[in-house]
Amino acid sequence: MNLSAPQIGFDRFIPLDLATAALRARAGTGSIEELASLLDAAGLFKEARKKTLTVLNRLWLAPRPEMSNFADRGIAIFKEDPAVPVSVLTWGVAIATYPFFGRVAELVGRLSAIQGDCTSAEVQRRMSEIFGEREGTHRMTRRVLQSQSNWGFIDRIQGEKRIIRKAPLSVTNDEAVAWLIEGAVRYLGKAVSVDALQSLPVLFPFELDRPIAYILSNTPTLEVRSEGGMNQVVRLLS
């Protein structure tokens, strides 16, 4: 996990329409005024609106310097191939930008891997073990889960006590596949086995049904190398 990034940060519920408006504003296909209108319609109080904008800034509008190029390449994918859902791109930038968001995603993916579901209590307990047993951890975890549900990747049922992962979304754009994998590697902060990429818990919402090793070998921001026999790993180029 990238410990240099904000450890919580993602402390708001971010509906997909707000994320889309922020991306479109950065891409030049929308405007800040359109985003402001959506924020007005949401009826947020001043402090909540400010904190929501902070998250949207870090995701799309004004990323941290070390994340700016990554976010811009996500926006380029959006402009070149409108068939790539904004939810896919926002997931990728969220796991790369916010380790807290990424860890919730990883836990949901890991805990639901066998039967396709898990409990909110399990996720909350694991997050408290990592980030501390405090109300802020519980509240932020709920907001991340609420966002992931709104983006269409999980369902929360039984009074939000149970989490069900939805059928994985097939990502067929090669640039989007490479970009998502880069987001996961940025989140994990270490080299990852190429063979493990199809089943990475943090990428549980997606089916990367493409020739991954070939795609990565042609991705200038990533390096694929052999380690110990036939094992290949991918790492971020500095």
CATH number at residue 221: 3.30.420
Single residue among 115, 135, 165 that ends a domain in this structure: 165
Give pLDDT tens digits for 92-113. 999 999 999 999 999 999 999 9
Query: CA 131 to CA 187: how far, in whole Å?
Result: 16
How long a stretch of residues is the chain? 238
Query: Which of 165, 196, 218 is where one domain is finished?
Result: 165
Residue 2 lies in a domain: no
Q: Do residues 181 and 234 make contact, with C-beta atoms less than 8 angstroms apart? A: yes
In this structure, the answer to whether residues 48 and 139 fall within a common structural domain is yes
Mind listing the pLDDT tens digit for each residue in 50-66? 999 999 999 999 999 99
Q: What average pLDDT does this structure show over 222-237?
A: 88
Instruction: Tell whether the model's pLDDT for residue 10 goes beyond 60.
Output: yes
Domain with 180, as residue range(s), is: 170-236
Q: What is the rounded average pLDDT of the residues 113-119?
A: 95
Residues 47 and 159 in one domain: yes
Burial classification of residue 36, based on how many CB atoms lie within 10 Å of its CB (0-12 exposed, 13-18 middle, 19 or more buried): middle
* Phi, psi (rounded to 5 degrees) for 205: -70, -5
Q: How far is CA 74 from the centre of its chain?
A: 12
Residue 190 has φ and ψ, to the nearest 5°, of -160, 165
**Interval 180-206: pLDDT, tens:** 999 999 999 999 999 999 999 999 999
- Judge if 49 and 151 occupy the same domain: yes
3-state secondary structure of 132: coil
Query: What's the domain count of the chain?
Result: 2
Same domain membership, residue 160 and residue 59: yes
Do the domain assignments include residue 158? yes
Would the CA dihedral through 93, 98, 181, 225 be positive or negative?
positive
Q: Is residue 38 part of a domain?
A: yes
State the average pLDDT over residues 30-44: 96
- Shared-domain flag, residues 155 and 44: yes
Residue 160, in any domain of the structure: yes
Nearest alpha carbon to residue 140 among 165, 123, 156, 155:
123
The DSSP result for 141-209, as a single string, is HHHHHHHHHHTTSEEEETTTTEEEEPPPEE---HHHHHHHHHHHHHHHTS-EEGGGGGG-GGGTTEE--
> Are both 129 and 186 inside the same structural domain?
no
What's this model's pTM, rounded to 2 decimal places? 0.94
